[in-house]
Amino acid sequence: MKCKKCGEKASVNMRQHKLALCKEHYLEWVPEQTERFIKKYEMFTRDEKILVAVSGGKDSLALWDILHRLGYQADGLYLGLGIDGGIGYSHESQRLAQKFADERGLKLHVVDIEKEYGQPIPVLSEISHRGHGKPCAVCGLVKRHEMNRIARDLGYAVLATGHNLDDEAAVLFGNTLNWSSEYLLRQGPVLPSSDGLARKVKPLCRFYEREMTAYALARGIEYIYEECPYADGSQSIYYKELLNQLETTRPGAKLTFYLRFLEARKRGDLFIEQNIEHAHLHACPKCGQPTSTDDYCSFCRMIEKVNAVSAK
């Protein structure tokens, strides 16, 4: 496969966009697209101070890298969760986040949960008996709370996270399976600021997880490859695998699933009963069955076409 821009050998192929690019042009394309989404969803401007939630994983480091390359005022926030899992998970992810910041001269705020609240995440979870034996619920709760707190205390208008399209599609899939209307109506690339909390934005929400991995690899970003020890067997990973199977046979399925949802929600189409009279149905002049076109219905047009072809 050849790069669409220069004809050299392609390194990344995005079947959903029918676009293959070489490494060099891919590294140009990603920030261009990010800039486009930042503007399209009115996420932030170059005058605003942005706090990027950095986990040491590929998505958040790639996000920070892109914002920095685009000239935004983006500082990092690392939350020390105190998760070891036999692989020194938190320790290693903090090291990589710090290394990334130091190499680029960026500012990284570090908050250690154990120092702030006396216990690391797994113990907070155990003691509080929340989340059915897994610390993920408490972890999510603590992360949201702390990100809001730090952004407010340090005067950041915007909080940016590295959620990619696969993250969003997996959440959407879960919420759709349960028809969780209140969650569905809240999910999106931007959560406006309210009650003194910073605006929350997801600038990578239209990139596939695979594209962010390719970006991190192509940029030579060193990220934590090990999975959080508690994420093993998690629902979101299961949904992502299912969606990737779908994507393999139907390129673009994930993107369509997410974008059509955003469009429907924006139009106010979600969970509002359609007014049948508004549908403007007419009787087909040939068979009399209702149709949305002014002319023959789809069935009659199909038969007419078949007859026309057969008559030749």
Partner 1 sequence: MPVKLILRNKEYEVKPGMMLLDALKKIGVVPESVIATRNGEMILEDEILKDGDVIKLVAVISGGMW
Contacts with partner 1 by CB under 8 A lie at: 1, 10-13, 20, 23, 53, 55, 57-60, 161-164, 166-167, 170, 209-210, 212-214, 217-218, 225, 227-228, 230-232, 234, 236-237, 240-241, 244-245, 247-248
Q: Of partner 1, Zn ion, none, which one does residue 146 interact with (CB within 5 to 8 Å by kind)?
A: none
CB crowding 89-113: b at 16 or more within 10 Å, else e: bbeebbebbbebbeeeebebbeeeb
State which residue, 218 or 284, has the beta carbon closest to partner 1: 218
Q: Indicate whether 124 belongs to the interface with Zn ion (CB under 5 A).
A: no
Q: Of partner 1, Zn ion, none, which one does residue 248 interact with (CB within 5 to 8 Å by kind)?
A: partner 1
Q: At closest approach, how far in Å is the CB of 21 from partner 1?
A: 11
Distance, CA of 125 to CA of 234 (rounded, Å): 17
C-alpha 224 chain-centroid distance:
19
Q: Of Zn ion, partner 1, none, which one does residue 3 interact with (CB within 5 to 8 Å by kind)?
A: Zn ion
- Residue with token string 């790639």: 62
Longest dimension (CA), the chain: 84
State which residue, 13 or 119, has the beta carbon closest to partner 1: 13
Q: Indicate whether 1 belongs to the interface with Zn ion (CB under 5 A).
A: no
State which residue, 40 or 145, has the beta carbon closest to Zn ion: 145
* Footprint (CB under 5 A) of Zn ion, residues 21-50: 22, 25
Cβ proximity of 292 and 280 under 8 Å? yes
Q: At closest approach, how far in Å is the CB of 10 from Zn ion?
A: 7
Strands 290-291 and 199-201: unpaired
Q: Of partner 1, Zn ion, none, which one does residue 283 interact with (CB within 5 to 8 Å by kind)?
A: none
Q: Of Zn ion, partner 1, none, which one does residue 33 interact with (CB within 5 to 8 Å by kind)?
A: none
Q: At closest approach, how far in Å is the CB of 225 from partner 1?
A: 8
Distance, CA of 234 to CA of 200 (rounded, Å): 24
State which residue, 12 or 172, has the beta carbon closest to Zn ion: 12
Distance, CA of 280 to CA of 1 (rounded, Å): 48
Q: How many Cβ atoms from other residues are within 10 Å of residue 32's Cβ?
A: 10
Distance, CA of 138 to CA of 16 (rounded, Å): 36
State which residue, 108 or 218, has the beta carbon closest to partner 1: 218
Angle at 66 between CA 139 and CA 42, to 5 degrees: 80
Cross-strand bridge partners of residue 158: 50, 199
State which residue, 6 or 185, has the beta carbon closest to Zn ion: 6
Cross-strand bridge partners of residue 283: 290
Contacting Zn ion (CB under 5 A), which of 1, 6, 154, 270? 6
State which residue, 22 or 150, has the beta carbon closest to Zn ion: 22
CB-facing half-sphere around the CA of 200: CA atoms within 13 A: 18
Q: Of partner 1, Zn ion, none, which one does residue 241 interact with (CB within 5 to 8 Å by kind)?
A: partner 1
Cross-strand bridge partners of residue 52: 76, 160
The two tokens of residue 251 are 């390129």
Q: Of Zn ion, partner 1, none, which one does residue 58 interact with (CB within 5 to 8 Å by kind)?
A: partner 1
Q: Which residues bind Zn ion (CB under 5 A)?
A: 3, 5-6, 22, 25
